[in-house]
Amino acid sequence: MWQLIGRRALAAIPNVIGIVVVTFVLTRALPGDPAAFYAGPAATQEAVEQIRTKLGLDQPLWRQFIDYLGDLARGDLGLSLSTGQQVLDEILRRLPASLELTLLALLVACVIALPLGILAATRPGSWVDHACRLITTLGVSLPIFFTGLLLAYVFYYLLGVAPPPVGRLDSMFSPPPQWTGFYLIDSLIAGDLALFRAAAAQMVLPVATLAIFVLAPIARMTRAAMLGVLSSDFVRTARASGLSSGTVLYKYAFRNAMLPVVTTMGMVFSFMLGSNVVIEKVFAWPGIGSFAVDALMQSDYAPVQGFVLVMALLFVAINLMIDILYTVIDPRVTIDA
Amino acid sequence: MNALDPSVAMVVPEADASGPPVPLLAVESLAVEFRTRSGVVHALEDVSFSVNKGETIGVVGESGSGKSVLFYAVLGILDAAGRISRGRAVFGGLDLTQATAAELEAIRGREAAMIFQNPRVALNPIRKVGHQIEDVLARHTSTPSAQLKKRALEALTAVRIPDPERRYHAYPFELSGGLCQRIMIAIALACTPSLLVADEPTTGLDVTTQAAVMDLIGELARRRNMATVLITHDLGLAAEYCDRIVVMHAGHVVETASTTELFAHPRHPYTAKLIATTPHGTNDLRSLAAIPGNLPDLRRSDLPPCRFSERCDRVEPVCQTSPLARQAFSAGHTVACCRPI
């Protein structure tokens, strides 16, 4: 098992190198001149040139790239020009906010989508099946920013049951002492139930928005995979052996259907990382997505590079996890496959 | 009667001197239909036959004649679209067509087991074969969990799998087709059923393995006095292993006879043609005659009473109109034909 993880991690190294190169080139290819931006509209040509030299932007590209690699090796993602903070610190501070949202939404989506998909597959044509189809159609056809705005409009503005979309905590609360960076967990560690409730209340709408978005592909894939497996020969054998329907459904059918579902979950998680950018804007969530958008608007290279790099590393980590899950579920997957 | 109680469900009435033996399984006038988008498929119609204790019968017919569906229906594992519309299937005193799902589950795998073709895909691909045997044992026997592995290894030994201790931990993809079929047999026979339905058990295996698998089934059946139903399209295979043969065509049983009687005096034109299409040691391959035409579309509402009449060279107007009569020629030899040979 450890050998497998090691090999897969090694295989990810070329990906990471590629990511570093592409991020570097892409950020340089963006329109806008950061030197001019920082010098301000009234700056003279000399002042702009001065700033350009200071930022190292007058160097040839390869020279800038080598400097960038050297910084990376020291764990230095550079300074954010707009906030004056170290990008690494900024990202580490904001990453838990994004992850807490994403992971919780994925959990919620799975808790709803897996049983829904199974029920729909075992009772094709029933009302559960139709409900499953309706929900998945809605989930894929509603754009995520629209769902987010709609939920905020209905539950905060019209009904007033949800707290205002102002980020992770109402201004009346101060964040819990940091252990994991996840407010829900940290507030429980601090034993502060009121704080837990406040943090949870803030999460309801953004989590619901994200969960509705990813519920659809998971439920659809579960239903399709279960339908395929339930009509397979080995399920017929299990039924012919008189195994109880529960055993047939879970030990035989569901475990086999998990394979494509796990793949889907990996893909869905990647979508969610991307959608975070939108969700965080809608709900004023202080995550890394909104950070990256702000930086991009201001031609602030370093945070954008850092953001893309962190996202790419997360991607690689998720794929590694899915590979490992696969080998746990399916004995046919070998280390070399 | 309570089928969940092993002491009751096991009771198979013994033959007594005063009359014919009560069959282990008696299927009477069974009809099965499937509702599909393009209409109702009358897959089985008026199917009757019986299986005696310890006997081996062959159910023979070309693909699509309803052989497998017949036993799916009897064992209660039809697709959701299929249903038994008429008839009875009495097994060990219980009418399976009226039994509840729980009663059927308790009988399947314990009293009546089934093995399938393509054993490699008929086993759970991601579960150790030893555990698949244990699943059945745990379901149907009161074996304590500490003893399950021992019983599973015994089941593997019984089907003569070499090195059972190692094979216990194998996954189906690590085993050959022949070994997988032995595992299937081990699963089916783990609870010593009184009826084994083997649905084309040798399809997808190479010829030498076929013989080994068939000999194994035959030997285990003899030793355990287990009735065996061999579903096959291979009349030669049925001739070699079966005491009696039931010939099916398009959802009808067209002829039933002992194997020797059937080959000596086939009465139904379809049986005669089927025998003529079967190669054996002495006939020239060029002399094999194909049966013209295909199975009729079973969704048709205007199906003639005799579903073979459109392919039959002895057909007469009466075949298309008068209801299909079942005639008995000698003890145990019945034919459903208006103009038997």
- A210-239 residues touching B, CB cutoff 8 A: 232-234, 236-239
> Of the candidates B122, B133, B204, which has an alpha carbon nearest to the alpha carbon of residue B167?
B133
Q: How far is B246 from chain A (nearest CA, A)?
A: 22
Q: Kindly state whether residue A200 falls inside one of the protein's structural domains.
A: yes
- Per residue in A117-173, pLDDT (tens digit) is 999 999 888 899 999 999 888 888 888 888 889 998 999 989 988 888 888 888 788
CB of B338 closer than 8 Å to CB of B265: no
Q: Kindly state whether residue A336 falls inside one of the protein's structural domains.
A: no
User: How many CB pairs below 8 Å do chains A and B form together?
Assistant: 79
Q: Kindly state whether residue A273 falls inside one of the protein's structural domains.
A: yes
Q: Is the pLDDT of residue A266 over 60?
A: yes
Q: Is the pLDDT of residue A328 over 90?
A: no
* Spatial separation of the C-alpha atoms in residues B252 and B154, rounded to whole Å: 40
Put simply, the answer to whether B124 touches A242 (Cβ < 8 Å) is: no
pLDDT of residue B2: 43
CATH at residue A143: 1.10.3720.10
Q: Kindly state whether residue A6 falls inside one of the protein's structural domains.
A: no
Query: What is chain B's alpha carbon radius of gyration, rounded to the nearest angstrom?
Result: 21
- Closest CB to A247: pick one of B122, B126, B135: B135
pLDDT by 10s per residue, chain B, length 341: 344 444 444 444 444 445 567 899 999 999 999 998 888 999 999 999 999 999 999 999 988 899 999 999 999 999 888 999 999 999 988 999 999 999 999 999 999 999 998 888 999 999 999 999 999 999 999 889 899 999 999 999 999 999 999 999 999 999 998 999 999 999 999 999 999 999 999 887 888 888 899 999 999 999 999 999 999 988 888 999 999 999 999 999 999 999 999 999 999 999 998 888 877 666 666 667 778 888 888 888 778 888 888 888 888 888 888 888 788 888 889 999 888 88
Q: Give the mutation candidate from B78, B91, B124, B180 for the A interface (greatest A CB count, under 10 A).
A: B124
Give the pLDDT mean for A216-240.
93
**Concatenated DSSP letters of A241-298:** TT--HHHIIIIIIIHHHHHHHHHHHHHHHHHHHHHHHHHHHHTT--SHHHHHHHHHHT
More confident residue, A43 or A119: A119
Q: How far is B243 from chain A (nearest CA, A)?
A: 25
Give the pLDDT mean for A39-59.
80
Q: For residue A258, what is the nearest residue in chain B, using CA coordinates?
A: B126
CB of B121 closer than 8 Å to CB of B105: no
- Per residue in A66-79, pLDDT (tens digit) is 888 888 888 888 88
Q: How far is B70 from chain A (nearest CA, A)?
A: 14
Q: To which CATH superfamily is domain B21-336 assigned? A: P-loop containing nucleotide triphosphate hydrolases (3.40.50.300)
Contacts 24+ apart (CB under 8 A), B76-80: B76/B101, B76/B104, B76/B105, B76/B108, B77/A236, B77/A239, B77/A240, B77/B108, B77/B114, B78/B32, B79/B34, B80/A124
Q: How far is A242 from chain B (nearest CA, A)?
A: 4
Contacts 24+ apart (CB under 8 A), A57-64: A61/A28, A64/A24, A64/A28
More confident residue, A206 or A54: A206
Q: Kindly state whether residue A229 falls inside one of the protein's structural domains.
A: yes
CB of B40 closer than 8 Å to CB of B299: yes
- Closest CB to A331: pick one of B105, B113, B171: B171
- Per residue in A145-154, pLDDT (tens digit) is 888 899 989 9
Q: Kindly state whether residue A194 falls inside one of the protein's structural domains.
A: yes
Q: What is the interface pTM, i.e. ipTM, of the complex?
A: 0.86
Put simply, the answer to whether B126 touches A255 (Cβ < 8 Å) is: yes
Chain B contact set for A332 (CB, 8 A)? 125-126, 171, 173
Put simply, the answer to whether A242 touches B126 (Cβ < 8 Å) is: no
Put simply, the answer to whether A241 touches B109 (Cβ < 8 Å) is: yes
Q: How far is A8 from chain B (nearest CA, A)?
A: 22
> Of the candidates A257, A209, A210, which has an alpha carbon nearest to the alpha carbon of residue A231?
A257
pLDDT of residue B323: 80
Listed by start position, the domains of chain B span 21-336
pLDDT of residue B282: 65
Helix B129-140 / helix B145-158 crossing angle, nearest 10 deg = 120
With a pLDDT cut of 70, the percent of chain A lying above it is: 99
pLDDT band at residue A60 under the 50/70/90 scheme = confident
CB of A305 closer than 8 Å to CB of A316: no
Overall number of domains in chain A? 1
Q: B268 has which bridge partners? A: none
CB of B152 closer than 8 Å to CB of B168: yes
pLDDT of residue A335: 55
Put simply, the answer to whether B126 touches A238 (Cβ < 8 Å) is: no
User: And the tokens for B5?
Assistant: 């109680």
Chain A contact set for B107 (CB, 8 A)? 242
Put simply, the answer to whether B75 touches A240 (Cβ < 8 Å) is: yes
DSSP 8-state assignment for residue A175: P
> Of the candidates B151, B131, B120, B110, which has an alpha carbon nearest to the alpha carbon of residue A251?
B131
| Full residue range of the structural domain in which residue A273 is found | 88-329
User: And the tokens for B131?
Assistant: 């555990």
- Closest CB to A234: pick one of B106, B107, B122: B122
pLDDT of residue B18: 52
